[in-house]
A and B are shown apart, each in its own frame.
Chain A
């Protein structure tokens, strides 16, 4: 049993144990610190003379972060400590120059930009919520996720949940089937279909179905998921042999895996079927009669999803590419809304579970995806970034992307990095829920009334101004 679930003295609260897990591979520093040595030498000489050898005064340097505190001070700055405050260059414009490090900016790719990489690196190494001073530094709104804001409530709290502390907010989600209503026979016994679901502690699953092709990565995902009481989605081959984490492992089964399902060696709680296949569905049902069967498929055809639900699938794991695009180029935020709406309109949204992957690369994307209609997010590329993987070129296609993991990747470190990431994302989710006055994450799903979209707000605010058309 995982350490956090040990019920000591009959009491237990869910908690993710975080611990610092610093980088194991040296990444380029965020800033380049350039000091002209002649300028520095001249300064030192003039200060020695001016302050008559008062050592502490002469050696008092502008940097508070230790960049100039190495054995030879500014002659060999320790760039990795630089936080870009610019005090040195303000004090000594003539010979100190601070630049963003272009090598750092090459981390990630055009979608998973280095800012996101930086953020994940911080979250995975510390387990903390990124907190910084000064206001927002980015662009005004934007496209996709950036064009959406979440609501908050202050004097009048629409939900009246009355949050009296983030610790009381639940992040439990259910995966499986819950009928809209129960039916009973004359004897009072339930008839018809019964609920069939599991509950996990986080709306964050680990998606390794396309990525965890290496055994040690799959093991890191599985062990972390088990310890956090969530799920790790893994290729069938990698799932074999992970019976000790049976509770948390979701094997992805393709038609070619059908003849060897018995090799798995354990009874999974959830199985993912890779694409709809009548025969495969029958085989999986027969092999794992207790399991919840999820359909792993693209977002593209929302109407078809409703059709699969009528044929018995109650959990959908919907995939966009790593840049959040469907095959026809639409963005995942719109795709989620479409899928959610299709089930709402069919009157069966409460019966199914929608999981999603692709393009959700920051903590903020998780609540936004849930507001648009997901029950939980199966996180993909951020897990690799947490493990300090490097992108080999653009990584958009699920089959065509290549990442390089650190050669010294080890299980204990990897597990802690993922736990830290999950803890940080969960805490950030709590910030969003607390601000909205919601007491449980399940109430976030499909709460479109608590979302604000830039296009709508801008039209409301600027309609009628000279030069403004809705097409802007």
Chain B
């Protein structure tokens, strides 16, 4: 009680709602009935609640929640693994390696990540600084990376710079010499799966003074990044981009994030020949802070179709062993990650799953007014306090721990000792549509 007397109204309000929210995140995955309006075909009620549970416990759910697939009726949801009979499984105590290399060339730093996943770009402004911090600290803890997105590099992230990818996107917001020099990996965002062929959108309500300062723009004015990079109309132009990064930071690996047009295979090979270490394909069902609905649904192909197309083409061009292929855009679960790898990717880039771990309900209101009511995709000073960075960090770490348990168990049953052995093993998949 004395405590209450010494606290400001704002502190009490934030504490009250945080306590209630945490209670709800723990309650619903264990309740007999899910909230009726929760979920959609891609992220079903069960997938959301299972993710909340994994983020709390660090283990796969054991209470019957479906945590492997959604109900979209296609793509990952109609694929399963051909698990051999038990006599072919590896012993339960077998060490299974989930690490993957990010640089398969012989130039630049030889970076590995401990799990075959890293965090995708979410820009400062589209998400709160607390969320960025939570993601960065989780990446550090897990031995992987997270990406700044295109909104600049808040100073509070510099502490974790060895685990942060600096994104250079068409708006060039916050791209400075030092943010390129911090980065072990620089990511060019040519396109984004949720809005392929359109630039990033940050609606005016979220362009606060601080966000605008970071982006060197005008507060409260919407920002629509151009599309495409107007300095790039060919692979040769793209090569100039890579050279520019190399000049500024010779250590950095270069990742090229592209969407999935009909010629995605050519784009991938072109990116490789221009010097990319990582080709990052972002499929059309990817997440976003704001995008036209028409773009999300209709432009470019889903990641499940793009991965094998690109993998096959890289193999046929004899360059598959020299490039790391990362996939994102609708990768929701550990099983999606495994399926993406079996289709030909080296690993996956995760976005929405991390947000769900820290309380997202997939309500699609990120761009509305003050932003996310759960304090995630918002720049509102009060709302963002609803998601404290240390709590968020632990939830993300727990979710990936639960994923790692599932991936190791799956590999063991498939008789594989390393996630690298799963790459391109289409023979281990079956179609169940």
Contacts and interface: CB of A to CB of B under 8 A. Distances in A.
B414 interface: no
A135 interface: yes
Interface stretch (B54-62, B85-93, B196-204, B394-402): B196-204
Contacts of B295: 431, 435
Interface string B5-48: 10001001100110011011101100100011110111100000
B266 to A, nearest CB: 7
Interface in A133-154: 133-142, 146, 148-154
Given A85-B361, A98-B36, A466-B429, A154 B258 contact: yes
Interface in A434-472: 434-437, 449-450, 452, 454, 457-458, 460-462, 464-468, 472
Contacts of B305: 457-458, 460-461
Contacts of B330: 135-136
Nearest to A56: B9
Interface string B246-261: 0000000000001101
Interface stretch (B157-165, B210-218, B280-288, B317-325): B280-288
Given A84-B363, A85-B373, A465 B429 contact: yes
Interface string A356-397: 000000011000100000000000000000000000000000
A92 interface: yes
Interface string B360-373: 11111111111011
Contacts of A436: 197
Interface string A149-185: 1111111111010111100000000000000000000
The B contact surface, by secondary structure, is loop
Contact of B261 (A31, A89, A152): A152
A52 B288 contact: no
Contacts of B258: 154-155
A130 B203 CA distance: 13
Contacts of B285: 135-136, 140
A50 B20 CA distance: 14
B233 A160 contact: yes
Tell me the dominant secondary structure on chain A's binding face: loop
B141 interface: no
Contacts of B407: none
B235 interface: yes
Interface in B370-404: 370, 372-374, 377, 383
A142 B74 CA distance: 8
Nearest to A437: B197
A42 interface: no
Nearest to A101: B37
Scoring B271, B296, B329 by chain A CB atoms within 10 A of each residue's CB, the highest score goes to B296
A157 B433 CA distance: 35
B12 A134 contact: no
Interface stretch (A15-23, A57-65, A235-243, A285-293): A57-65
B299 A435 contact: yes
A140 B38 CA distance: 19
Contacts of B286: 135
A458 B308 CA distance: 10
A330 interface: no
B74 A141 contact: yes
A137 B74 contact: no
Contact of A432 (B35, B82, B298): B298
Interface string B182-215: 0000000011011011100101000000000000
Nearest to A100: B37
Contact of A138 (B40, B79, B190, B369): B40
B40 to A, nearest CB: 4
Contacts of A37: none
A430 to B, nearest CB: 10
Nearest to A135: B287
A472 B433 CA distance: 7
Contacts, number: 295
B365 A83 contact: yes
Interface in A53-93: 54, 56-57, 60, 62-65, 83-87, 89-93
A97 interface: yes
A212 to B, nearest CB: 27
B77 interface: yes
B290 A91 contact: no
A149 B75 contact: no
A131 interface: yes
Nearest to A140: B74
A431 B198 contact: yes
Contact of A461 (B289, B308, B372): B308
A60 B196 contact: no
B354 interface: no
A85 B363 contact: yes
Interface string B337-360: 000000100000000100000011
A462 to B, nearest CB: 6
B17 A137 contact: no
Contacts of B38: 86
A450 B270 CA distance: 20
A457 B303 CA distance: 11
A136 B42 contact: yes
B431 interface: yes
A467 B288 contact: no
Contact of A90 (B21, B41, B287, B298): B21
B289 A155 contact: no
Given A57-B9, A465-B426, A133 B364 contact: yes
B297 interface: yes
The residue among A91, A462, A467 with the most chain B CB atoms within 10 A of its own CB is A462
A283 interface: no
B109 to A, nearest CB: 25
B72 interface: yes
Nearest to B19: A91
A311 interface: no
Nearest to A466: B430
Contacts of B334: none
Closest 3 CB pairs of A and B: A435-B197, A133-B366, A140-B74
9 contacts: A89-B37, A140-B74, A152-B261, A154-B261, A364-B294, A428-B294, A431-B292, A437-B197, A458-B74
